[in-house]
Every structure is written in C-alpha cells, then in structure tokens.
Structure 1
Amino acid sequence: MAKLQSLDANTPMFAQFMAETGPIVLANTFFVPKVRTEEFLILFRRQADFMKAQPGFVSLQMHKGTADSQLLMNIAVWESTEALATAFGSPEFQRMAAEFPDDIVSYPHIFEQIDV
C-alpha cells in the first residue's frame, strides 16, 4: 500500500475530513519511482473510474511533473468533504488503495477556493 504523508503536520488528511465545507479540491501529489509509473497509472485509472461514479464527485485531472520528475499530481473537485470522505472510506476504494506498491508516497491535502 502507498504511504500517506501529510503536507501540513498540523492538519493531516483525516482531520481535514472533519471540516464540513465545499466545494473542495483534493490535491494529491504522488512520488512514483520511474519503474512504477505505468503500473501506478493502471491502478489509478481504476480508482478514478470508481470515484467518478460516487455521489458528490465533480471532476478529476492528473498532471505529471516536468523534466525528469517522478511526481504525479491528481487534482479532484468534490461537492463537499463529506462526499470525499464517504468515497475514500468505502471498502471498495480501500481494497483498491491497498494494491499500490509500498514505494509510492501520497501527499493528499484538501483545499477550498478563496477570493484574491
């Protein structure tokens, strides 16, 4: 299973699920060793298909780091933290998440839009 790491030690992913807000953006940066990229993308596409069918899902995009980067970033929009937490906590999603190799690291964080 991929390792989950917090970008902000003060607000780990599961604490963010408690904030009742929306719409939200999940920005999930993955460190993926080059030899694992194709395998990762196959597994991720299965997860994405599952998430796209969940209530509250809005959109999803995957981005690859430039140059020789080993980073991939998923940007997913959800109607609410509750919808994301429900989908994330489902047994089917958790089974799929367990299939990712141990040398992949995931840095998920939830954001909400602000005016600037």
Structure 2
Amino acid sequence: MLTLKNLDDSTPFVGQHDVQTGSVTIINTFVAPEGKTDEVLAAWAADAQYMKDTGNLLAVQLYHGIGGSRLFTNVAVWKSPAALRAAFTTPEFAKHTEQYPDGTLAYPHLYRKVAVEGICEGE
C-alpha cells in the first residue's frame, strides 16, 4: 500500500488542494521498497491511467533514478488543485493506492511556475 508523506509540514499536500488557482504541477517522488521497482511501476501506470481518464490531467511524465535507484518521480500538470482533489479522493483512486507494494512511500507536493527575469517564464 502507498503511504503519503509531506515534504513540507507547513503546507501539507492534502491542504494544498484547497488553494483557488489555475493549473498546478504535482511533483511526486516515490521510494520503492527493495526489489519492488517493477511492482511500483505497474501500480503507478494503473493509477496514472485512472487519473488521465478523468480528463483533468493535462500532461504527465514519469522519471526513474539511474544507477539502480529505487526512486521514481512523477511530474503532472492538472487543470486545478480542485480537479486533482476530485480525482484523488474517490474510492476508485483509493483502490489504486492499495496496489502499491507495502512500504512504498510517496512525497507529493503541488507547485506553480515562477517567473525569473531572463531565465524562465511564469504563468
């Protein structure tokens, strides 16, 4: 089963869903239990397909650490925090979290683009 952890206890992931804003990017790093990376990948693919089917997931990409790493990082753009909350709080999604091998940790956090003059664009 998937266990969620906060990267920043001052802004818990679940509380971030209440922010009224436009599109957001969720960056979620998973730590696979030893010897279970294939199972984590399969579970992630199933829950990503479910999220994609909601119609509110705008883009998604999964990254896997190199050199035998057990880390996966999911970067996904959602229409809004409310759209993510709607998908995240369904009984169907809860069933998907049960498909991850025991001991799988996830560190999700929501982000917005930041404009830095001469380097990168904001919203």
TM-score by length of 2: 0.89
Residue 100 of structure 2 corresponds to residue 100 of structure 1: yes
Paired residue type of 2:31: F
Shift of 1:33: 2.6
Q: Identical aligned pairs, as a percentage?
A: 35
Query: 2:21 touches 2:80 (CA, 8 Å); kept in 1?
Result: yes
- Matched with 2:61 is 61
Q: String of CA shifts for 1:21-62, please: whole Å, max 9, x gaps.
A: 121000000011341111111111111111111132101100
Alignment of 1:42-61 (within 5 A): 42-61=42-61
Q: Matched residues in 2 for 1:41 and 1:34: separation?
A: 13
Q: What is the aligned-residue RMSD (CA, Å)?
A: 1.1
| Rg comparison, structure with higher value | 2
Q: Matched residues in 2 for 1:26 and 1:63: separation?
A: 13
- Please state whether the residue corresponding to 2:86 is helix, strand or coil: helix
Paired residue type of 1:53: D
Q: Matched residues in 1 for 2:38 and 2:70: separation?
A: 12
Q: Matched residues in 2 for 1:102 and 1:111: separation?
A: 28
Higher helix share: 1
Deviates more, 1:60-69 or 1:105-114: 60-69
- Matched with 1:89 is 89
- Please state whether the residue corresponding to 1:35 is helix, strand or coil: coil
Q: Matched residues in 2 for 1:23 and 1:104: separation?
A: 27
Alignment of 1:5-44 (within 5 A): 5-44=5-44
What 5-or-longer segments of structure 1 have no aligned partner?
Answer: none
**Number of equivalent positions:** 116
What 5-or-longer segments of structure 2 have no aligned partner?
Answer: 117-123
Query: 2:28 touches 2:109 (CA, 8 Å); kept in 1?
Result: yes
Q: String of CA shifts for 1:73-107, please: whole Å, max 9, x gaps.
A: 00010010010000111111111112212211000
Paired residue type of 2:56: G
Q: Matched residues in 2 for 1:38 and 1:68: separation?
A: 12
